[in-house]
């Protein structure tokens, strides 16, 4: 008897369809499978798509007929390939949603290219965040290519592609830079084509100044938060000028009260640094840990459900809720607390070199952006209009 196993979509979920001509004995065996159901639409028995269910089906009915499994074998092979291209921790969709991912629709050659691309990034120990960004940027090109292998592209092809995404897709300059970085990594680091991108110009980035809050707005923001844990998070972000990812990853042991320092481990660029621990913040954190239930065990701010690091999106939402409640209309996110920390230090006379080290910047030019938003020197500059008015040369 022929038994045909086919990949199917049932209620938008991938399943293994079990097809055979009616046989009472075989039907009784199939019904013994845990979780098996009948599909009236597809006129077959089915189980959720998984390698373990596939093995179990063959085990139960292996002596009852000839198996036709080529379609399932291809499906499970592609499933494994797509899984290998995911970024652990940041891109881990459920097994049943892989068929809906962009990677699933790629040609076999381009899916293999994506797999090698992600593998090389992991071997070079790129951070999960960078890995996710590069993967997303690379896959935008792959899905556009359809059946054309990506390794066949020339420098001229890449130039036309960059012009296309800038003019037709309206991609912004910062995204274009990120796209070039990802493609450059593939062609030069994976394929070994040195200087492949020399002839591909980068669009000029707009010089956007950091967005920040003034001291009055920050006070209103803090006062709009009632939850002590949420308040402690925002206090920590502003007091030490931390990125949201750094707040999430702070461990209790990183707070060094004897040296009055906070250790920021493996921050951006996999770089450790120390920042000052405010005596006031130390008292607040001690009180928070003492009174909060359940008491955090490892991370300073733990998820109550999983006891793991607090999700960055949740902290961003806490900031957004506080901003709205405080009536602050500026379009800023939690990163503005870091910008405000740096600018306010600069206005109070702190040397920019120290601010660079506190923020963990690699290049002083990154920190120098705050010179352009600091009011310290601007308030002492008199407009020539004021001088002209004082001399009574003009009238209102």
370 is catalytic: yes
335 is catalytic: yes
CB 126 within 8 A of CB 134: yes
What distance, in Å, lies between the first and last C-alpha atoms of the chain? 101
Catalytic option among 177, 193, 220, 335: 335
- 230 CB-near residues (< 8 Å, 6+ apart): 318, 322
Nearest alpha carbon to residue 183 among 145, 210, 209, 211: 145
Catalytic option among 99, 243, 323, 339: 243
* Token pair recorded at residue 317: 């939402």
Catalytic option among 4, 268, 273, 325: 268
Catalytic option among 54, 75, 134, 370: 370
CB 300 within 8 A of CB 257: no
- 294 CB-near residues (< 8 Å, 6+ apart): 302, 304, 307
Output phi, psi for 46, to 5 deg: -150, 155
CB 326 within 8 A of CB 220: yes
243 is catalytic: yes
361 is catalytic: yes
Catalytic option among 179, 229, 323, 338: 338
273 is catalytic: no
Output phi, psi for 15, to 5 deg: -135, 165
HSE-up of residue 385 (Cα within 13 Å, Cβ side)? 3
Catalytic option among 6, 229, 231, 361: 361
Q: Coil, helix or strand for 267?
A: strand
268 is catalytic: yes
Residues recognised as catalytic: 243, 268, 335, 338, 361, 370
């Amino acid at each position: 008897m022929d038994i045909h196993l086919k990949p199917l979509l049932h209620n938008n979920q991938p399943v293994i369809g079990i097809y055979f001509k009616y046989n009472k004995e075989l039907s009784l065996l199939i019904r013994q499978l845990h979780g098996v159901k009948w599909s009236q639409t597809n006129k077959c028995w089915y189980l959720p798509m998984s390698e373990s269910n596939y093995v179990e089906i063959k085990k139960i009915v292996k002596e009852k007929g000839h198996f036709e499994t080529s379609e399932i074998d291809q499906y499970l092979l592609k499933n494994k390939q797509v899984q290998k291209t995911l970024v652990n921790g940041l891109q881990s969709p459920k097994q049943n949603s892989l068929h809906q991912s962009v990677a699933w629709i790629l040609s076999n050659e381009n899916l293999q290219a994506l797999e090698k691309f992600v593998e090389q990034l992991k071997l070079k120990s790129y951070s999960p965040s960078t890995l996710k960004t590069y993967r997303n940027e690379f896959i935008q090109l792959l899905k556009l290519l359809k059946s054309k292998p990506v390794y066949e592209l020339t420098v001229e092809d890449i130039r036309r592609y960059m012009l296309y995404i800038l003019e037709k897709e309206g991609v912004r300059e910062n995204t274009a830079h990120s796209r070039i970085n990802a493609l450059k990594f593939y062609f030069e680091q994976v394929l070994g084509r040195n200087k492949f991108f020399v002839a591909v110009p980068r669009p000029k980035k707009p010089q956007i100044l950091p967005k920040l809050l003034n001291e009055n707005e920050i006070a209103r923001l803090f006062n709009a938060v009632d939850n002590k844990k949420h308040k402690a998070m925002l206090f920590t972000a502003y007091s030490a000028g931390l990125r949201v990812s750094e707040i999430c990853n702070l461990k209790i042991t990183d707070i060094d009260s004897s040296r009055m320092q906070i250790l920021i481990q493996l921050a951006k660029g996999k770089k450790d640094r120390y920042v000052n621990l405010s005596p006031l913040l130390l008292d607040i954190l001690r009180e928070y840990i003492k009174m909060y239930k359940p008491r955090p065990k490892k991370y300073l701010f733990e998820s109550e459900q999983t006891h793991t690091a607090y999700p960055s999106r949740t902290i961003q939402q806490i900031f957004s809720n506080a901003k709205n409640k405080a009536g602050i209309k500026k379009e800023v996110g939690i990163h503005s607390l870091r910008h405000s920390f740096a600018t306010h230090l600069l206005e109070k006379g702190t040397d920019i070199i120290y601010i660079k080290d506190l923020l963990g910047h690699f290049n002083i030019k990154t920190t120098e952006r705050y010179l352009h938003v600091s009011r310290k020197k601007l308030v002492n500059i008199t407009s020539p209009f004021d001088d002209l008015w004082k001399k009574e040369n003009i009238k209102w």
